[in-house]
Amino acid sequence: MKDIVVSGIRSTGNLHLGNYYGALCNFVKMQEESNCYFFIADLHALTTHPDPAMLHENVKNILAEYLAAGLDPEKSTIFIQSDVPEISQLYLLMNMHVGIGELMRTASFKDKARKQLHLDTHANESEDAIEKEIISDTSKNRVNAGLLTYPTLMAADILIHKATKVPVGKDQEQHLEMTRRFARRFNSVYGVELFPEPTSYNFGQASIKVPGLDGSGKMGKSEGNCIYLCDEEKVLRKKVMRAVTDEGPQVPNSPKSEPLENLFTLLKIVSTPDVVSYFEEQYNNCSIRYGDLKKQLAEDILKTTTPIRERILDIRSNDEYLRRVVAQGAERARESAARTLAEVRKVMGFKAF
């Protein structure tokens, strides 16, 4: 029996190299061996108050990029989260079994709440102080309830299809553990074995972490350090040439600084082993020229992104094809979701007259 895999990406901008190597490459492999549901999380995107004029455009961008990267609507179910209302209904029902305290204790909620309240993310405010700010009626800013219940909606996304495997990054591992907890709790409360406890999906190898160009941390939309799959060649080369470096090695075989380690990590992801070895040797003997390293890095990134970008532009201009893909995906996803929701309602005691 095939594993059921569920994963989604928030529609908050274009996909970048981190999304591609960290998620999409694996998605393409998964669809060959599992029953996959890949969705565009437009409901999750609402927690950061996107411009209504851009919400649909962002969904369209992600959809075109999904397809250009190799997701096949004949092999996997590709759908838009808001096209499946059963998800929102299960989200409501699951919230009746979730505690406010456990939601407020999640690390991602605290971090994002700080941002919505415009608090210094490096300050050492106590948790009590942050919670007081969250519930204060005098604060000029507010933390929306959708951000608090984000883990419940994520659980609904997964459990509505009775997923057994979920590919997640390190920042989502706590949320996946909460999904397992919510599944156990529901099953225990009602004395059923309705929901399986999903586990993290991997291919027996460490997940690829793609660093950003700013010298620290991972590549991310909110960090502004991305190379996007849709970047034009000139834009991409300019970004790479501006990547943060250091003054260069002064002593042979010296340890690399974090900015340099990041550039070499990118090189290892996109370049051939002989190219990596060449620049490693140049670094170790203190003869490396960072300009040459960046030019080679940009060239090798473009070998991956250029054909994808061409497909993105072609697919994005074909509205009829995009409509067919999302209609087919919604139909399949709703069929699965409706079955699960009917079971949940029955277990909880909802009956028709």
Q: What CATH number has the domain bearing residue 289? A: 1.10.240.10
Residue 108 lies in a domain: no
Same domain, 181 and 297: no
Same domain, 157 and 304: no
The whole-number pLDDT of residue 220 equals 82
Q: What is the mean pLDDT of residues 108-131?
A: 64
Q: What is the mean pLDDT of residues 192-214?
A: 84
Residue 63 lies in a domain: yes
The whole-number pLDDT of residue 124 equals 57
The whole-number pLDDT of residue 106 equals 81
Residue 219 lies in a domain: no
Residue 12 lies in a domain: yes
Residue 191 lies in a domain: yes
The whole-number pLDDT of residue 123 equals 53
Place 89 in a pLDDT band, splitting at 50, 70 and 90: very high
> Which of 82, 38, 76, 30 is closest to 56 using CA atoms?
82
Same domain, 92 and 160: yes
Distance CA 341, CA 328 (A): 20
Same domain, 301 and 178: no
CB 174 within 8 A of CB 107: yes
Q: What is the number of domains present in the chain?
A: 2
Q: What is the mean pLDDT of residues 7-28?
A: 90
The domain of 238 spans 231-314
The whole-number pLDDT of residue 49 equals 78
Assign 220 to helix, strand or coil. Answer: coil
Please check the confidence at residue 169 and state whether its pLDDT lies above 80. Answer: no
Q: State the catalytic residue, choosing from 110, 162, 221, 268.
A: 221
Same domain, 168 and 256: no
Give the rounded percent of residues in the chain with a pLDDT score beyond 90: 69
Tell how far CA 336 is from the center of its chain.
Answer: 23
Please check the confidence at residue 221 and state whether its pLDDT lies above 80. Answer: no
Please check the confidence at residue 140 and state whether its pLDDT lies above 80. Answer: no
The whole-number pLDDT of residue 131 equals 65
Q: What is the mean pLDDT of residues 79-95?
A: 98
Residue 223 lies in a domain: no
Same domain, 307 and 324: no
DSSP, res 6: E
Structure-block tokens of residue 258: 């974090």
Residue 96 burial by Cβ neighbours in a 10 Å radius (0-12, 13-18, 19+): exposed
pTM: predicted TM-score of the whole model, two decimal places? 0.88
100 or 188: which leads in pLDDT: 188
103 or 73: which leads in pLDDT: 73
Please check the confidence at residue 335 and state whether its pLDDT lies above 80. Answer: yes
Residue 121 lies in a domain: no
Q: State the catalytic residue, choosing from 112, 165, 239, 294.
A: 112
Same domain, 238 and 336: no
118 or 2: which leads in pLDDT: 2
Active-site residue, 221 included: yes
Q: What is the mean pLDDT of residues 131-151?
A: 74
Please check the confidence at residue 139 and state whether its pLDDT lies above 60. Answer: no
Active-site residue, 295 included: no
The whole-number pLDDT of residue 207 equals 66
Residue 142 lies in a domain: no
Same domain, 195 and 238: no
Strand runs labelled E in 32-159: 35-41, 77-80
Same domain, 242 and 303: yes
Please check the confidence at residue 171 and state whether its pLDDT lies above 70. Answer: no
Same domain, 92 and 164: yes
Residue 228 burial by Cβ neighbours in a 10 Å radius (0-12, 13-18, 19+): buried
Same domain, 86 and 153: yes
The whole-number pLDDT of residue 132 equals 65
> Which of 156, 201, 163, 155 is closest to 4 using CA atoms?
163
The whole-number pLDDT of residue 143 equals 77
Active-site residue, 268 included: no
Same domain, 90 and 19: yes
The whole-number pLDDT of residue 138 equals 59
The whole-number pLDDT of residue 12 equals 86
Mean pLDDT of the chain: 90
CB 154 within 8 A of CB 171: no
Structure-block tokens of residue 45: 């995107």
Q: State the catalytic residue, choosing from 110, 162, 218, 268.
A: 218
Please check the confidence at residue 215 and state whether its pLDDT lies above 60. Answer: yes
CATH number of residue 340's parent domain: 3.40.50.620
Q: What is the pLDDT of residues 277-305, one digit of tens each?
A: 999 999 999 999 999 999 999 999 999 99
CB 202 within 8 A of CB 167: yes
